[in-house]
Amino acid sequence: MASPRAGVPRPAAKGTILIRDISHLATQNDALGEIADAAVFIRDNVIEWVGKTADLPADLAAADRVISGKGHVFMPGMVNTHAHMFQSLNRCMAQDQLLHGWLKSLYPVWSRLTADSVFTSTQVAIAELLLSGCTTSSDHLYMFPNDVTLDDTIRAARSLGLRFHPVRGGMSAGVSKGGIAPDAVVEEEPAILADMERCITTYHDNSKFSMLRMSLGPSSQKTVTHDLMISSARLARKYPGVRLHTHLAENEEDIVYTHKMYGYRFGEYIQAVEWDKCDCWFAHCVKLNESERSLFAQRGIGVAHCPSSNTRLASGIAPVRAMLDQGVNVGLGVDGACSSDAASILAEARLALLLQRAGGDPRGLGVREALRMATRGGAANLGRAEVLGQVAPGFAADVVGFQYEGKVAYAGAGVDPVASLLLCAPTSGVVNWSIIDGHVVVREGVLMAADGGEGAGEQEFDVAGMCAAADRFCKELTAGVAESALGKQ
Ligand SMILES: [Zn+2]
């Protein structure tokens, strides 16, 4: 039985949309490639036709809605594969700490979260993702203090029309059991597993163009037992399409901790807990060695590369070039706003590109490779490669358009507008159009309300109201917290 706290799912889109005269269309499809003067025809929630505007068949020349793509780059909506949307209310905190110290500073603040504050926090992250070109996102919620439930995040996703892959996380091993989280913020394992199954049976939709699929994700090897890892893997595998996701090999501290606690390296750990199959994807993987990368490639295990978080927390630079060369699937993740302070998928793609060159190789990562990671790499991590990450007939109608003409950030970049998306430095707020599941969610740069009720999509989303709520919750969450945890210099 769906909880009213999760909001109302939006009905599937009905009608047709024609985007024509697109200056540059980067389809991410191997056969279609990049097309100049392109058009995309959408029927209901599926892409029906893609090609040059001049070749548009006569019967597709009219549509319920016609959008001009002149002066725009259009591409598939990007896919974010690692986030903690509950963290948006606590940006710019614990500014100068490594991962474990950072976590210990923030756990007491997060323990004050409520259903209402998590709802607003999730909306903030989603708004920022949408305005940076993301149309599908996972969200790893692993703390459930007070009245917080996963349902609150689903309501936020529905309010903005995001295609959502929530991960029901959890922490069970507090300090008294050798973990790093305070005992006060962990849950009992039977309760975690019961709520995981409730979320699956209530919300998981394994249909082809599903707007919501569940994953399970005990927080990390530092906060849960082997038993919970194994139990959650076995639970997920009872339900087709439910995947597994957590953190792995994030920094040097992780290597030391995993070895001290278990005598393992990461490759041995994931095999011991049965998280070594193609239904798993892991965030970070900064410290995977060559044989572990081989294991990932052989088993089809995915990586969510989170460059902002990895640099902000001084974790290191993930060996993305080596991963790609060894055949590992890599997608991108914005991580939580406590460690990246932003939820811009475009900024992550840009930083991913730059970091692979920082060691001295100008070909460390190409623009087109980075865009592929942001689209098809992400879709593969979520098990959606058949319908997401490409603009091609039969794929989901998830398309974004960046206006480069007349924009300061792109002026003078006409030689390669597709590359300008990453080589120039826009951050958020650069998306002019975003369509998800055939619905317009960003119209001429403005977020639209997407709640399932009458008139959804016709009204602008209340950005000012959301930001005011976020500022209020930020004050509540941080009141009385020591200056050292706030990260002030
Ligand atoms: Zn994370």
Q: Which of the residue ranges 321-330, 423-432, 480-489 would you say has the lowest mean pLDDT?
A: 480-489
The one-letter amino acid at 305: H
Return the pLDDT at 222: 77
Q: What is the CATH number of domain 78-382?
A: 3.20.20.140
Return the pLDDT at 259: 87
- Residue 329's closest CA among 270, 381, 274, 283? 381
Return the pLDDT at 119: 97
Cα separation, 214 vs 204, in Å, equals: 5
Return the pLDDT at 174: 85
Distance 110 CA to ligand 1 centre (A): 14
Distance 169 CA to ligand 1 centre (A): 11
Return the pLDDT at 100: 85
The one-letter amino acid at 386: E
The one-letter amino acid at 16: T
Which stretches does DSSP call E strand in 277-373?
280-284, 302-305, 330-332
Return the pLDDT at 261: 84
Higher pLDDT, 127 or 482: 127
Query: Is there a contact between 397 and 47 (Cβ–Cβ < 8 Å)?
Result: yes
Q: Which of the residue ranges 129-143, 194-208, 442-456 would you say has the lowest mean pLDDT?
A: 442-456
Evaluate if residue 22 carries a pLDDT over 60: yes
Distance 132 CA to ligand 1 centre (A): 19
What are the beta bridge partners of residue 244?
216, 280
Q: Could you say which DSSP state residue 13 is in?
A: P
| Mean predicted confidence (pLDDT) in 459-473 | 96
Return the pLDDT at 488: 58
Per residue in 379-432, pLDDT (tens digit) is 999 999 999 999 999 999 999 999 999 888 899 999 999 999 999 986 555 899
Evaluate if residue 244 carries a pLDDT over 80: yes
Sign of CA pseudo-dihedral 319, 322, 323, 324? positive
Tokens of 238: 């009872």
Q: Could you say which DSSP state residue 374 is in?
A: I
The one-letter amino acid at 98: L
Domain span(s) for CATH 2.30.40.10 in the chain: 12-76+395-456
Q: What is the mean pLDDT of the chain?
A: 93
Tokens of 336: 């939580």
Return the pLDDT at 484: 65
Distance 283 CA to ligand 1 centre (A): 7
Evaluate if residue 369 carries a pLDDT over 80: yes
Return the pLDDT at 482: 73
Decide yes or no: CATH 2.40.170.20 for domain 12-76+395-456: no
The per-residue DSSP string of 161-221 comes to T-EEEEEEEE---BGGGT-SB-GGG---HHHHHHHHHHHHHHH---STT-SB--EEEES-T
Distance 68 CA to ligand 1 centre (A): 38
Return the pLDDT at 175: 84
Evaluate if residue 189 carries a pLDDT over 60: yes
Tracing tokens 């020591």 back to the chain, one arrives at 482
Q: HSE (CB half, 13 Å, CA atoms) of 452? A: 14
Higher pLDDT, 281 or 480: 281
Which of helix, strand or coil describes residue 330? strand
Domain span(s) for CATH 3.20.20.140 in the chain: 78-382
Distance 276 CA to ligand 1 centre (A): 19
Tokens of 170: 């959890």
Distance 262 CA to ligand 1 centre (A): 22
Per residue in 115-171, pLDDT (tens digit) is 999 999 999 999 999 999 999 999 999 999 999 999 999 999 999 999 999 999 999
Query: Is there a contact between 147 and 115 (Cβ–Cβ < 8 Å)?
Result: yes
Distance 248 CA to ligand 1 centre (A): 9
Considering the entire predicted model, what is its pTM?
Answer: 0.96
φ/ψ (deg, to 5) at 146: 50, -125
Q: Which residues surround ligand 1, an ion (CB under 5 A)?
A: 335
CA dihedral 174, 176, 177, 181 (to 10 degrees): 20
Distance 39 CA to ligand 1 centre (A): 38
| Mean predicted confidence (pLDDT) in 184-210 | 96
Query: Is there a contact between 321 and 356 (Cβ–Cβ < 8 Å)?
Result: yes
The distance in angstroms from the start CA to the end CA of the chain is 49
Distance 396 CA to ligand 1 centre (A): 27
Query: Band of the pLDDT at 260, cuts 50, 70, 90?
Result: confident
Which stretches does DSSP call E strand in 221-323?
243-248, 280-284, 302-305
Cα separation, 304 vs 387, in Å, equals: 19
Distance 376 CA to ligand 1 centre (A): 21
